[in-house]
Amino acid sequence: MIAEGNLVDTIGDGMPPEHRRKGVSTVAGNAGNQAVAYLGPGKVTVETIDYPELVLKDGPGVHPANVGRKCDHGVILKVVSTNICGSDQHMVRGRTTAPSGLVLGHEITGEVVEAGRDVEYIKVGDLCSVPFNIACGRCRMCKEGHTGVCLNVNPERPGSAYGYVDMGGWVGGQAEYVMVPYADWNLLRFPDKDQAMEKILDLTMLSDIFPTGYHGAVTAGVTTGSTVYVAGAGPVGLAAAYSSLLLGAAVVVVGDMVAERLEQARSFGCETVDLTEQGTLPERLEQILGEPEVDAAIDAVGFEARGHGANAAEAPATVLNSVMEVTRAAGRLGIPGLYVTGDPGAVDDAAKMGSLSIRIGLGWAKSHTFTTGQCPVMRYHRRLMGAILADRAHIADAVNATVIPLSEAPRGYAEFDSGVARKYVLDPHGLVAAR
């Protein structure tokens, strides 16, 4: 546990003179800013970028219409923890159109070290979770609770996120410091800083994978007594499986091709199916449940799906088609797995544009309900925070949270890509390790 008082007290007094003004911690800051950048397929590095300001400047991936966008409604955060996500891994594998030099990271927890002129309620010293969705709080979508498709933060399309391709160019948070716009709306402040630091490995999951997994379960209709199939035992799949149990599911079956990940799913009470082994998915489910279908299914794999079997090749529609096959009539499918509109490494020209051979006729015949898209984190994160702080949810254990320094991010990406059953948490200032 760190010493009592503001986390900013541990940084030092190296703030540039231009940051020493009203609404700025006088002991926080740094002339530089170490950050994780994507250089090309399979390549990430830790490099020094500019200390953030309350303006979106030109840079890799920044939409021209966003260049120079003033953010007096924003704050600068000292990043306490920031996680490597499977969505980041898609970019690092070269499976998106992400530009070289893009600073990565959309799972951010941090302390406010500077507050903009128009920030009213968030204060310097507050420790906060940052939803990965960037949302203005003013548009129709935000007012209706659809913060994953905010209309005002990305000139190219609805929806935005930090450090992600085609999301407007907002600088990622796998860094020492990051700027967060619309702070009063976006930030979830933890009520007690010392308590939060005691549970920081759980709370760091509130920025994305815990709400995303929970959203997958909720939109799949998981409730008391449900039988659930979760495709994929990566961190989001594990979060979806854990969330399903939290919601009262009777049996949760997780399918994957990596033995270590399946073992992690079993560690908190799931049944598992090794998809490299013989037998169809309905047959395997019948062995476990006594019937070949489930009440609810969750696709936590996305567009890099592979066919079933020991030597299966990539087949991007496999999971969507298999979950339709095993979900009962009138059942629901939650699809938190990522699907993209541009995949240069896809298996065919159609898939390169996000067009997949989905058996929509099967889904129509069974009256299935599908829910796709970014999780609207704000819909869930406050309640999930309450569950964590009340010691009712232990998501860090479920996803095997593993802390490493920011400097070791390239190793974390490489190991995550190999299929290890870990959720890597980057610790830019050593505050998590010192908790």
Q: Hey, is 258 helix, strand or coil?
A: coil
Cα separation, 435 vs 417, whole angstroms: 28
- In this predicted model, what pLDDT tens digit does every residue of 360-417 receive, in sequence order? 999 999 999 999 999 999 999 999 999 999 999 999 999 999 999 999 999 999 999 9
CATH class belonging to 7-208+376-427: alpha beta
- In this predicted model, what pLDDT tens digit does every residue of 183-216 receive, in sequence order? 999 999 999 999 999 999 999 999 999 999 999 9
The Cα-based distances of 314 to 32, 242, 354 in angstroms read 42, 27, 14
Delimit the domains of the chain by residue range.
Answer: 7-208+376-427, 209-371
Pick the range with the lowest mean pLDDT from 19-33, 75-89, 150-164: 19-33
Distance between first and last Cα of the chain: 3
C-alpha torsion angle, residues 353, 356, 357, 361 (rounded to 10): -120
The Cα-based distances of 360 to 92, 282, 320, 324, 368 in angstroms read 31, 19, 9, 9, 10
Residues whose CB is less than 8 angstroms from the CB of residue 383 and which lie 6 or more positions away in sequence, other chains included: none
The overall average pLDDT reported for the chain is 92
Report the predicted TM-score, pTM, of the whole model to 2 decimal places.
0.92
Could you tell me which CATH number the domain at 209-371 has?
Answer: 3.40.50.720
In DSSP terms, which residues pair with 177 in a beta bridge? Answer: 78
